[in-house]
Amino acid sequence: MKLKKEPKLKKKLPKIFVWTYLDEYKKNKSIILKSIDKVFKSGNLILSNEVSNFENEFSKFTQNKFGVGVNSGTDALQIALMSLDIKRGDEIITVSNTAVPTVSAIVSCGAKPVFVDINEKDFLINSDLIEKKITKKTKIIIPVNLYGQSADYGKIKKIAKRNNLKIIEDCAQSAGALYHGKPSGSFGDLSAFSFYPTKNLGTYGDGGMIVTKNKKLYTLCKKLRKYGMSKLYYSDKHGINSRLDEIHASILNFKLKKLNSDIRKRRRIAKIYNENLKLDDLILPIENRHNYHSYYVYVVRFKKREKLMNYLKKNQIFCNISYPFPIHSMKGYKYLNINGNDLKNTNLLSKQIFSLPMYPELSDSKLERVINVINKF
């Protein structure tokens, strides 16, 4: 029996994801596997040369003196808080438009998060509203350098000094960003970074780091990441188990060398989006004066977000919402009794913002297709 020819089908469009590591891995596979193999052959898997080298190099990169590699960005925040002797009932000022880890670290220390609203245009903490939230219980301000752009540390540092408060920079999304020419992570008493896979500087698993210029805080953070030990099997202070391992440190040592180049590629993609997206009422991100945006994500605003995202999905373009639920609205933090009525922009933006595809290996052809599909909506 002679088979009939299959009818010609329309060519299925390839999927475009908001982020993927696969193209990067394919490009650098031999170097990455060689780095990992070197670790295995060394016989040292925990807190050895690769971690030490990365701590030193990343500290220099952020213009700090000291670095402490830990298991995650969440742990970096928690250990930073612990090093400042945060106790139950202390208040920490931050934002509700952030990833859950910012707040979970505060709560894990027994402290209370106090939320300040964000600016409508840049999604960052509104520094003009901070002092209204300061009480006798306030100990620390944690500005979140969201989406790849730094908060207004010119104002925030003055507020902290006037009120005798410490600053912990949440830099989970801002590795490589600059503010007045200085790197993200160089403005806080301590700064916390995440090396989760999606980040500008991400490994292929979890990882984080605390950086500081203060030797006393550095020494304490080193103890706290290893059960509070200064010598084997003896704890000087209650700590946790949080160590950046050698394998991920070896990957990060390689990727740190190409971070600035990767950010230039991200900025090029953002520039192309900025110049070519023409959909009415689609609000594009801004880069604040005195900032060098590292574009961890490219976040836009659109009132009919769900409709547009579904349209993009049908065209094999997959986006993401960062973040659809402000922290104060989540069941897990309902006990804080925060009504959020004074978080007008936070509440509004959570219903409108979403991220377009953004990663250094995003090809021009895929980028062009994203733009064309959006402009035809």
**Same domain, yes or no: 233 and 361:** no
Distance separating alpha carbons of residues 324 and 278, to the nearest angstrom: 24
Predicted confidence at residue 11, as pLDDT, reads: 67
Q: What is the dihedral of CA 40, 44, 45, 51, to 10 degrees?
A: -110
CA 304 to chain CA centroid, Å, is 26
On the question of pLDDT at 7 being above 50, the answer is: no
- What are the tokens at 139? 């100990």
Distance separating alpha carbons of residues 281 and 330, to the nearest angstrom: 29
Task: Find tokens 């292929």 and name the residue.
Answer: 204
Distance separating alpha carbons of residues 117 and 343, to the nearest angstrom: 5
Predicted confidence at residue 150, as pLDDT, reads: 98
**Same domain, yes or no: 352 and 228:** no
User: Which of 230, 257, 284 marks a domain boundary?
Assistant: 257
Identify whether 2 is part of a domain: no
**Same domain, yes or no: 266 and 243:** no
Q: State the CATH number of the domain containing residue 357.
A: 3.90.1150.10
Q: State the CATH number of the domain containing residue 155.
A: 3.40.640.10
Identify whether 22 is part of a domain: no
On the question of pLDDT at 4 being above 70, the answer is: no
Q: Encode pLDDT of 301-332 as tens digits.
A: 999 999 999 999 999 999 999 899 999 999 99
* Counted domains in the chain: 2
Distance separating alpha carbons of residues 166 and 152, to the nearest angstrom: 15
**Same domain, yes or no: 216 and 361:** no
**Same domain, yes or no: 310 and 369:** yes
Percent of the chain with pLDDT over 90: 94
Predicted confidence at residue 5, as pLDDT, reads: 44
- Residue 240 lies in domain: 28-116+127-257
- What are the tokens at 27? 């490009």
Name, in order, each residue with C-beta under 8 angstroms of 57's C-beta and a sequence gap of 6 or more: 253, 256
